[in-house]
A and B are shown apart, each in its own frame.
Chain A
Amino acid sequence: MRHLVFGLVAGLLLLGGGPAAAQGAMTLRDRLVIVTSSATVGLGELLARSFAERFEGVSLPQATRLGSVRAMEAFCAGIGPQTPDILLLTRRLPRAVVESCAANGVRDIVEVQLGLGAVVLAARRGEPMPGLTSRQVYEALAAERTVDEEFVPNTARFWSDLGPGLPRNEIRVILPVAGSGPRALFDDLVMEAGCRYVRDIRLLFEAAYRRAKCITARTDGRVMDVHADQVTAALLAAPPGTLAVVSYDQLATSGGNLVALPLDAIAPSIAAIGSLDYEQARTFFLYAKRQHSRNQQGVGVVRGIHEFLVESTSEHAGGPGGYLASAGLVPLVPAERAAQRRIAEQARLMSR
């Protein structure tokens, strides 16, 4: 009997130590790995830099842009140092993807909301301009337009060419440079939205080709690309009637010099953005694998996941005036920010 108990205890000890030993064998990475979609790559790089600056001796996290589908695949591929730790998306993880994650052993996922991204079309105060539709913005700025199922160069000169009631002002628009957060939002939420119901565009099957036709801006001098944080200054120095694409945060900090134009009949405001009535806005989500967090027993893949979550949801990151605003993020309401901070501090798992 004594031998039986001794054998049972020894077996349990071996079994209990097995997984820990195996997990310890799969360590260790010295930096976090973040995968992002096209619209969140700027945010990912900013968070990575801020994290490395805030914590001494920490290696700069590696942020890689894969596109949302490939980023989700990589995140859900499994557990281990060869898989990423953090995923940044502009939409909630679909249920099917969560199930795919669970099937591959990725069960403990923490989900936090970082804020809202909104892009607005702005004019200088004192230069009245009626609201526009995303279709009119696309037709004004696209490099090509369709005529009898053929693509020809866009030669529209005045806003009045695009619809009744629009002023006979020259089309001149300042855009943030390609690759910036506000430009990514503008391409997705205004240009693609504007071309979505153009008949000849809808007939194009391939997504990449269709998107290129939608977001490629004209190069005849009517569109000027400027670094994202210089757009406001460029607009103030531009000829009368010029419009600019800015993030909502830039509009709010312009001191009243810029006026937002209603897009698709909705004027941008905190309430309209928060309720997603203003369609040119989206929520940014961060997902983290709690299973990758290294613990005191030496089990885990990498250190810093918890700290990264806390940093991303802190007030000086996502609050009013925080550095995430430079990436165009509109802060969540205070109660929601506090709730997300609690989720991050407790590393509370996502429930579906």
Chain B
Amino acid sequence: MLAKAIAVSALLALPCIALAQPAPPAVIPAPLQDLPSDDGVMARAERLWSGVMDSFGIGFGTGSSIARGHAMANAHQQARSDFAWLMDIAGYKLKEIESSISLLPSLSLTFGQARELTEADRDYVERMLERHARRNPGPISALQRTIVRGVMDAGELGSFAVDKVEVDLFPLPRVKFQLSPADAPLGVEASRILRAIDRLNQRVQAMARQGAPGGRQTLELPGSTPAPLLPANAIHH
């Protein structure tokens, strides 16, 4: 009974399937057309934009990057990860991407210092830059290495530290380093926080010195002396 029901359902569905199928497309009588030339100014600017954005780690998936071959997409992927990796081992992480679309498009990358470098880290970066130069001889790669070397050289000025690196790609290529003195004075907020910590520390130590006659509660645990609070800049974790 069940089998009969299934067979009947299948037979009834066949015309529906036939009706659901679209009609074969009509024949187009017009001849095949040549595509417009992609040698114009706007087309070249678009290709350059996509290439540079891909090289510096910005993959917005524009049409021209999608249309490129698989091997070239892999090469750009490698270049993107190489530059981000070189900046990472130089102690800088990508913090901001600023992009604007207009008659004159602009693109700017901002890297911030993520950590200081030891001597061994500097040696390592130099060695990786030499290896990168051997494996990537193109002009974009040379520009990437120049930026990383510039960051390293600026960091060796001794009494200054590079806080931020801004890389402008459009409309004109530009690299801007923001340096600050290594022994810069604390800002207003930081000074306020330090003073508050000092006051709290004094209060805790005063409470710890008080005895507990009559059951007054103190912070002193049996057998231990509370350690003084440390300022925030001494806490390394």
Distance (whole angstroms) from the CB of B86 to the closest CB of chain A: 14
A37 at the interface (CB under 8 A from B): yes
Contact flags B101-125 to A (C-beta < 8 A → 1, else 0)? 0000000000000111111111110
B154 at the interface (CB under 8 A from A): yes
A266 at the interface (CB under 8 A from B): no
Q: Is there contact, CB below 8 Å, between B121 and A96?
A: no
The stretch of A200-208, A249-257, A287-295 in contact with B is A200-208
Tell me which residues across on chain B come within 8 A of A208, comparing CB atoms: 118
Contact flags A175-202 to B (C-beta < 8 A → 1, else 0)? 0000000000001110011001000001
Q: Is there contact, CB below 8 Å, between A70 and B158?
A: yes
Q: A94-B152, A95-B153 are in contact. Are A68 and B119 (CB under 8 A)?
A: yes
Distance (whole angstroms) from the CB of B124 to the closest CB of chain A: 7
Tell me which residues across on chain A come within 8 A of B130, comparing CB atoms: 276
Majority SS at the chain B contact face:
helix
Tell me which residues across on chain A come within 8 A of B96, comparing CB atoms: none
Chain A contributes a number of interface residues (CB within 8 A of B) equal to 37
Inter-chain CA distance A209–B114, complex, in Å, is: 14
CB contact between B118 and one of A73, A192, A276, A282 (< 8 Å): that residue = A192
Tell me which residues across on chain B come within 8 A of A92, comparing CB atoms: 126
Q: Is there contact, CB below 8 Å, between B120 and A189?
A: yes
Tell me which residues across on chain B come within 8 A of A72, comparing CB atoms: 156
CB contact between B127 and one of A39, A210, A279 (< 8 Å): that residue = A279
Distance (whole angstroms) from the CB of B16 to the closest CB of chain A: 58
Inter-chain CA distance A275–B85, complex, in Å, is: 23
Q: Is there contact, CB below 8 Å, between B237 and A149?
A: yes
Q: A68-B122, A94-B156 are in contact. Are A205 and B237 (CB under 8 A)?
A: no
Contact flags B194-237 to A (C-beta < 8 A → 1, else 0)? 00000000000000000000000000000000000000000011
Tell me which residues across on chain B come within 8 A of A282, comparing CB atoms: 123
A90 at the interface (CB under 8 A from B): yes
Q: Is there contact, CB below 8 Å, between B158 and A205?
A: no
Inter-chain CA distance A91–B89, complex, in Å, is: 17
Inter-chain CA distance A207–B90, complex, in Å, is: 12
Distance (whole angstroms) from the CB of A86 to the closest CB of chain B: 19
A69 at the interface (CB under 8 A from B): yes
Q: A90-B123, A188-B123, A282-B123 are in contact. Are A211 and B118 (CB under 8 A)?
A: yes
Q: Is there contact, CB below 8 Å, between A37 and B119?
A: yes
Tell me which residues across on chain A come within 8 A of B121, comparing CB atoms: 192, 196, 207
Instruction: List 30 A–B pairs whose Cβ atoms lie within 8 Å, in order of A's numbering.
Output: A39-B119, A67-B119, A68-B119, A68-B122, A72-B156, A91-B123, A91-B126, A92-B126, A94-B149, A95-B149, A96-B157, A97-B153, A97-B156, A188-B123, A189-B120, A192-B121, A193-B120, A193-B124, A196-B89, A196-B121, A196-B124, A202-B114, A202-B115, A205-B115, A205-B116, A207-B117, A207-B121, A210-B115, A211-B118, A279-B127
Known: A70-B158, A202-B114. 13 other contacts (CB 8 A): A38-B119, A39-B119, A90-B123, A94-B153, A96-B153, A149-B237, A150-B237, A187-B120, A188-B120, A192-B121, A193-B124, A202-B115, A206-B115
- Using a CB–CB cutoff of 8 Å, the interface residues on chain B facing chain A are 89, 114-124, 126-127, 130, 149, 152-154, 156-158, 236-237
> Which A-B residue pairs are the 9 nearest by beta carbons?
A96-B153, A207-B116, A188-B120, A192-B120, A207-B118, A211-B118, A73-B158, A68-B119, A205-B115
